[in-house]
Chain A
Amino acid sequence: MPRYLVRLIIIFVLGAVAVLAIRQFMVPASFYQLGHYRASVLPEVAAQEPVYAGHAACEECHGDVLEVKEKGRHTGLSCEVCHGAAATHAADPSSTKPFTELDRSFCLVCHEKNISRPAGFPMVDGLAHNIKEDCRKCHKPHSPSPNKGEEK
């Protein structure tokens, strides 16, 4: 067998050995233990602190707001849908304050006209409906039916 062929075969064998060796390093120890994923990821995920406080936590201090919300059409929405994750605020109210989403594009995520939404769902054409106006001028987010007095 010519010398170059022997060298080529050696390179391929070394390459194959290198790939297998690298694989030994790269496959996490618990990978195939429970399936095609790292088994050790389960305790890692479980150990994570929840970032959402949950509806009940808001109710403890903000009963007045919830009273309004329960009578309105946003009653099914959790507070943290619009105010963001609030676990740190619930744990220590003075440490952080939940933000309030003010941009009209946020309202349009649910209320933009879209043929695939259920019949009767309140929708507007974002490019035609009081364009550039803040939605809150006519709709109160906690009880969002239009303010008839102000609407022409």
Chain B
Amino acid sequence: MHEAAYAFTGYIYPNEAKLLWSVLIVLYPYITGLVAGAFILASLLSVFRVKAVHPTYRLALLTSLSFLLVATLPLLAHLGHPERSFEIFVTPHTSSAMAMFGFVYAWYLMLVLCVEIWFEYRADMVRWAGECKGLKRLIYRIITLWDDDTSPRSVQMDHKIAYAVTVIGIPSAFLLHGYVGFIFGSVKANPYWASVLMPVVFLFSAIVSGIALVLLLYQVTAHLRWKKADMACLDTVGRYLLYALIVDFALEGLDVIHRIYVAEESFDILSLMVTGKLFLTLVIAQVLLGGLVPMLALASTLVFRIPDKTRQWLYVVVSLLVLQGIFFMRWNVVIGGQLFSKSLLGFTTYKLDIAGREGAMVALIIMGLPFIILTVLTWLLPPWVDNDAAPGDHGATDKPEAAAVPAQASAK
């Protein structure tokens, strides 16, 4: 207690001394955002027919699933008693935004993402079941429900259903992450959070982070497999990242301008916080390194002729910068919203522990889990699209159009 007393500035209420929502609550919107963003990138091909992003399509879907599977872990670790989480499904409380998130999450996981991936991969899994032996064969058999129907009619039907699921999936992904923004935006007692723009800002920052993650993963996996990344694909994904960044940046700018112009009574304390305690994480990490620098770098690829190799490196650096920028955006919202006193006259401090249930180690483990899941998923459901696929590499689709593009043709 007396250690904490030294962390106060000005006047704060006793119950504001210790931040209750820690780094784990920062991870929750971050991971959920990556899920929604990766799915939106996948929908560029399946719904909006941006054929150039085809090499990232399946990877984006698997990335989305890998992160969705751990999206609730930070919350469960933070609250303790994970076994009680089922109560929100058993006795749903419609007046609680957080409780209803369980249903939004379950809908998105069970009826959107898993179904879409299943229809996307079904015909391939039937084929792989015939080619593989042992455990893998058994897994494919179970997942394909012991049916080896790969007739053109059934494949066409798969594509139609996958298309329909993606069409439902886009508003669902918007709902999933808009909802996270809504949870913060609807806390009317907190002037830093309470904003109708919050769900929209969260949504676009989610799209930004998801696209950046898939852009990075695509290049890293291509490098690890000794394959050449498709430059046309990288350029297209990079362009969409730029568009999303511009919209996200404009929305956040609008929020800031609105706050400056309206200058409510909380404005003084918030501006003190932004220029003081949050200067590094907000002005430097989020706005400068996570927003302006990536936007300028991406815009430069459209204006200047940059060699492929340099451009590829630029995309890697931009993805990393954007990913850290969005992480700090979540940090600034979650931690920033608890740093100032509701008396609007003082601040407290947040110190990130290394160990402990809410420490950096747990956060790192939770952030690492999706990558382990993704590795297993890519082993089971190879998402790679290589024109120079080696024979027997059943993960590769020999013709990029073979897997997903007919989906558009048949869906038309």
Chain A residues near B (Cβ < 8 Å)? 2-5, 7-8, 11, 19, 22-23, 26-27, 31, 36, 105, 108-109, 112-116, 125-127
Contacts and interface: CB of A to CB of B under 8 A. Distances in A.
A115 B13 CA distance: 9
B154 A4 contact: yes
B391 interface: no
B5 A114 contact: yes
Contacts of A115: 8, 10-12, 346
Contacts of A108: 1-2
B149 A116 contact: no
Contacts of B147: 2-4, 7
Interface string B1-30: 111010010111110000000000000000
Interface of B: 1-3, 5, 8, 10-14, 86, 89-91, 93, 118, 122, 144-147, 149, 153-154, 157, 346
Nearest to B3: A127
29 contacts: A2-B149, A2-B153, A2-B157, A3-B147, A4-B122, A4-B145, A4-B147, A4-B149, A5-B157, A7-B145, A7-B146, A8-B118, A11-B145, A23-B89, A23-B90, A26-B86, A108-B1, A112-B5, A113-B2, A114-B5, A114-B8, A114-B14, A115-B10, A115-B346, A116-B11, A116-B13, A125-B2, A126-B5, A127-B3
Contacts of A113: 2, 5
Given A4-B149, A7-B147, A36 B93 contact: yes
Contact of B2 (A4, A5, A7, A126): A126
Closest 6 CB pairs of A and B: A126-B2, A4-B147, A7-B145, A26-B90, A112-B2, A2-B154
Most buried by B among A105, A108, A114: A114
B109 to A, nearest CB: 13
